[in-house]
A and B are shown apart, each in its own frame.
Chain A
Amino acid sequence: MRDEDIALVERLRAGEEDAFREFVETYQDRIITVCARVCGSTTDAEDVAQETFIKALRSIDRFAGNSALFTWLYRIAVNASRDHLAHRRRRPAVPLDSAGVDPADDAAGPDARLQTREIQQRVRSALDDLAEPFRTTLVLREMEGHTYDEIARILDISIGTVESRIFRARRKLRALLEREDPE
């Protein structure tokens, strides 16, 4: 664990409010992103992210420091997102880009922005069609840049399973993208 993380964990355990704010501000964008990708919707991503941070604060005494702080936090986020998914099965999901949280590419022209948005929408749609375990694994790898070892720790699976899931998810994703864009 990094020295900064060790110090931050100690301050969190001491109940410092400033430490908790620093903790949230450090990881909020990445946690909201992973929650949105795993859930397939930005609508509830901030709620799930908030739940993730509060759960992390409550269980900070149980954090043994065997893995990096962010690995531990991602694990809580993935589990919270999965719980949310299970709970949401009874009601329809709102598409990922409808909430408009993604930062717009202001430098590009209107046509280029539209084209980029269309491509992104297709990719998101294909991603959402993947089965959850494969989607989560692929998101942690491709969009969050975690190593196989980190993903294995976050998801509590073997490295071999991580490798297999990523491989199969990539192939399936490509098939889904081809289906949406036969040209």
Chain B
Amino acid sequence: MNPLDDLNADDARQSETLSAESEQALAVLSRCLDGEPVEPSEEARARSRLDSDPALAAAWRDMGSAQAALAALPGLTASAGFADRVVAAAAAAAPTHEPAPILPFVRRLAVAAAVTLGVTVGGGLARPLVAAADASIEQAWHAVDHFRSSPYAADDLARGIHSLLRSPDPTSPPPIPDPALDAAPAAEVPR
């Protein structure tokens, strides 16, 4: 059950014993009891009603006695060493000033910069290689066209490829000798 339901039921019960005007007067008197500002005319009206309505007078007495009972409850005192414990707990709970939260950010920033640089430089370096590969492909297509147009071009193409395989890298193993190619007459090599 909602605790407010109980309170609402109490309100309803009390409203049965007090008229609406007396309810209003009781609220005004309650504010007076707390020293809150109340219009003098409003207070005078409430006090006048207090004299004429016994139910209101009883409710007002009850309210005063409840207030007195609460006010009479003693306050509590802190146990010995409470302040020391709080100061120690605050010191223990104080945040440390490590640069920990900054490090991951710096690390992420460095990684992002490295990736960007890598892509930029890598792209720049790769461009001449791609151009060279394009040129080689174009030369190869010329060779194929030449092969198609001349019966001697086949030997020419094979010799060219062989020489390419033999010459560029001094560290590579020597090519396997091909007697057929080595024996070919120099005059058959097209200019």
Q: Which residues of A contact B (CB under 8 A)?
A: 17, 20-21, 24-25, 28-30, 32-33, 36, 42, 45-46, 49-50, 53-54, 57, 101-103, 105, 119-120, 123-124, 127, 130-132, 134, 138, 141-143, 147-148, 163, 166-168, 170-175, 177-178
Contact = CB atoms under 8 A, between A and B. Distances in A.
A132 B27 CA distance: 21
B19 interface: no
Contact of B78 (A28, A143, A172, A175): A28
Interface string B60-72: 0011011101111
Contacts of B65: 174, 177
A57 B89 CA distance: 11
Contact of A32 (B3, B14, B27, B76): B76
A174 B70 CA distance: 11
Interface of B: 3-4, 6-7, 10-11, 13-14, 26-27, 30-31, 34-36, 59, 62-63, 65-67, 69-79, 82-83, 85-87, 89-91, 93
A33 B75 contact: yes
A143 to B, nearest CB: 6
Given A17-B87, A148-B34, A171-B11, A32 B70 contact: no
Tell me if B's interface is mostly helix, strand, loop or mixed. Answer: helix
Nearest to B67: A142
A120 B3 CA distance: 23
A101 B79 contact: yes
15 contacts: A20-B90, A45-B76, A49-B78, A49-B82, A49-B86, A50-B85, A53-B90, A119-B69, A127-B70, A130-B3, A141-B34, A143-B71, A143-B73, A170-B63, A173-B66
B59 A123 contact: no
A163 B90 contact: no
